[in-house]
Structure 1
């Protein structure tokens, strides 16, 4: 009698890192030659659990070193209370649980919520990573998604036509500490949309179709010149994580040599203890050089590889690219090409980052920034400031957005000459830069207009520095006008709404004489006059508020 396993085959589809272009993992997909075993598995949790175990064993036969993604229905986890046989299969395959991501798929309707959450906790305690699959095209409740707190959210490509929804999901992922992936990417347009919306990972026919043999190469479209630059505060190390070649700390040098010579794409090996914590780092070139020297193989082959390794360099999964560079800068120059191990909150290695990836991405971000600098002041334009405004809104942070300009600047240019006007603008820009704290962003919109983004408590020093200074151009006295809108958490939804609240405040500031400063609050009527006096034609009936 034929078993369902007789006609079942598995295919592998790469999960691609959109920043580095590297393969970040392989999703194992069941491909039955007859019947619809997936429909049966949806109704039969035991069968679904056996499919997951078979998927791991199929990957083991392909000897892939990449992290794996295994599909399981939500109802299966809730019914079985976890997947103990999966843990056994992973161990027997010589893999570590944190190299395996369990993709939990819909339907979620009628799945007992508490039972599902307990099963996910059980998987996490064993070391497995959790992915919420089919989001956007399935029925996963938003509340359940936040309770699952997945390490990865897989979004259906159909949502790319709704960029606001994708950006909102990216914001949620940032709050949950999760990565965002897009499934079903088939065109370069979709890939560009995924990158623009902030997705870090993707998979689909564009990169590589599912295949019986894991793909050695994938196609990743070149980054568009108009793509959004990386955040000035430093991109997250999560964007650059590559799969790590992990071996037990007790592995012999011969075992490591076999892995490296059989996998030319592997730049090094991380030796981990029983809990997955890095204990030694083996650099490919230095290791093979030691092994290939005279008597090297005879001396080291059967000895622990740890003797030829170095103390690992590690960073937390929440680190920025700049922090990784700080780690690389410490120590001898002979280790600048070493991989840096990325560890989770338990200290377990979840991947590595390569210096070349970081340098390339940071260089691209600097080129993007340089292209957007104002040639007169060398300050960034409005995009840099408004992008940071949106990030602070997403983080639920209070902020103060200000607009500064020179009063009657056209008359200044006409009376003192454009050279004096240019020097005045440069001087204002330098003063703003000197007075800005680390959390303050200054942008030069053009002409005599500047944008200033600051924490509410950091606003007064910046305002005082520019409004108290005696400005002049060509010997003619000049005054400045400052308008500020305070935005508390929840008061605005994006930078456009903040700018809309700021516009009437600028008009009010320009209506005052002398160095002026008007401050308002988003969502509240009226404003406060902090500097300046009413013009001669204006009523003096309201000296403090308007």
Structure 2
């Protein structure tokens, strides 16, 4: 350790002991050390600039920037420390490297930006276009209009502007809109772990869309692993920084490490994290209920059965009538078919017509609030299927009657919801459905990368299902999903559930054949455990073939038809579906159960 460093550490320790001001002494003695972290262009791995960072005396209590600025804040010297830090970074960065076009990103608070931060560049005769002023996230802006004027003045002087740590603290969409920065840095909170977090993925995806609309360039901060790097690159974020691409150092790096360069050269696309199918919100649920709502007339509890018959005759399409008390609260429901069937019997009208309508009413009707979700209605239909299907539902608003919903209408709405959800994720295995599969295939096509499509399904599954029932059949399908999932690299291979016993894997892994062979073998061994002891001993089961004839069926087996696709061969997802189906059919006739074919230029398999 040099004498100057020892002396500075001693000074810091002395000031700490005596609670004396230290920041001004650090600034005056030029004891601040500048470090530079590279900012990398993801399309080619070029280092386009660096963020200037500051540190206190090495080994001391104020070495970290957090401690340093905390002490400056306590001493009311935060802006002065920012100015000194910027001066140290500019001097160190451009000392001996004033040629070229590499950018220096310098951190400033809103208060410091108001004090002409271009002064340091003027003193050093540095090209202002190479300096980017970063508005730090802790900045409080008392008057946004005045601050915008300050930023515009900086732009007029040639400096560029960036919004730092977007998505947290004070870096908001409103600020982005007002300031129109050249660059926006996506906070590391959203970038770290984005490959496994669908919510972060969707948040950053929306940032990319807004950046494209405004002409702003995004920089992803905190990139520390290969999976996150692939995601931000594939989302179209042009620049990134983080430990994976380069750590802060006193000497500005001119290139990324070879391992990072290899990752950036790879054409393998990322697998986007699965997004759970969106649930309908309260407004959507209300709109769906309103579209099904029947504003039907009601009866009072003292009304007669003849009155109910009269209303049913007046409204032929009405499936039920609600019985409502004088406060507007529903107390019962009269089912049309049930009542009219009673009155169709001999003498029933004469015997019961003058009696109270509550005689044939359901005194425990199912009532739902008008904001009830379709998912809740689906649960009610499952819990009391026949009753709800026949009577439907009474709809209330804060407990007061407003109308009816027919059971058939509710079933139709639930079915549409289930079908829509299944397109996104299979409800049994929770694997991506047809829409995400199609989107990933299109990304593979657009990226022009090589991949392998493996179309897998089960042989002899229907006879198994017929013998053991759907519960056991569902367990087998879950076992298939587990086996195929274990064969996939989650960051490069995409597994989807088309429906039934059909699955599709889009492999980018070079060792895909070993992976799928191992998964198929393990599943074929384990599936025997789903058979009874007697059927295992017999080697299979007796069941009906497609012609309704009795036949012997071997154990369920996983068959895989694989199609290798070279870059640029495929033009549309429909082509892949056609040839993968051919490969699958050939695999079902193969003794091993795995057939590999190549996708030819003319769109066939060879």
TM-score computed with the length of structure 2 as normaliser:
0.37
Larger radius of gyration: 2
